[in-house]
Structure 1
């Protein structure tokens, strides 16, 4: 048996700090999280009165670096509940860790449990990845069975919501996605042009920018960038400007952002984008999107 000393050894119990205002773009994802997570947690009696069963579990899926964890944390903040953040690779070694995780969740309710890379805990074992990346270490079958048992145990609790995230939906065990488990799905895409404008408007508003640098100009040249990479570009661009201007530093120009993009390129994003475009179309026919 695995002796668990502190929850923090395997997962983090947090008071959420991020808000919707901290996250640029992703309007549709935010709206669906409000509908599926925030409203049920803030107004449980209304759902009982309406005799409507809110979602118990959600699968968020999409390309890497789309800030799924930040979005879920903002939903927890809006809901006024606790937030447990779990990396699948940290809890895959022993089923007792899974049991302890869900016991903590029940004791902390209302709570959102967010499990990153949940396909590692519940893999479709016969599948082969269609993504170009190394295969991860997978949880043994007994851990997967325990995960299913714990998800089922919390199914009738309206104050515990399980959200799994995956970049590899093709490798997720369909049994995890059946009715009563993680049966609602939210696709989290890379930022489109409007999203990028909103993101840059938020993260560059206090920067000393040259007049040529506008949110629209930056959005125009960053197609294919993930949310996380967009957040890193202003800092890298500022470093480029300081390196060039030294003590005479005044503003960050468009050329500095372009140099930053050379250091933070969207490597291989087109291949990944085509994969998700195809998979999203397939999911529409499976009622998964």
Structure 2
């Protein structure tokens, strides 16, 4: 009952990830992007991290039983249209998320496979990566690995366009419908960011933006994948979303904010939304 008020229907999304104490990545970046894009955001907290723009100092995994209780609480009440994952920490947490998803499907699932830190260290063990590949990836609508993560998933080095194209096919064969490989780590592309996406229907495209010389890129993957998640929930087609998602992330990096002394966070106030002139 809402006597005298106005009831507004709003798309509902969820982030299934870990927190970032410094606010620039993880669940924190997801919530900022979701708010920017005008969707209602829920959370399933998988872990807590003590981190800042210099790196991750410590992490605290949430018990698997509690993660499953979070899934049930959300599914019993909210109408989630799309979900994204972030840092899942370890094999136990990956398995719990896959189990929770199978019990309570929450719309389209976007996996941001947080596997490699900016410094190059692995954030998931080999067993956790195997669990991700066999249990969670086959459930997903979209996966968004960066280049080092894609290399881990396919087990080979990716240096050229053809390497990346073949890797996307290999990952798609794991059961995920759409594959986005983010190419920001490519050594041979100094003046542009080039991402490759392979769609479920077999079509594909390269998405490019000019390169930016900056280390202020903390939370880039979370921001991109949460923009996509929000707009899938709003009913937009993935092929229409992708160029705008790329533009939003680019501008969030280009219009930098002065926070932190290491890999600083993105600007989540950027005014770019689907269906406006600002995204051109």
TM score, norm. by length of structure 2:
0.31
Query: Which structure has greater helix proportion?
Result: 1
**Higher RCO (CA < 8 A, seq sep 6+):** 1
Which structure is higher in strand share?
Answer: 2
From the CA coordinates, give the structure whose radius of gyration is larger.
Answer: 1
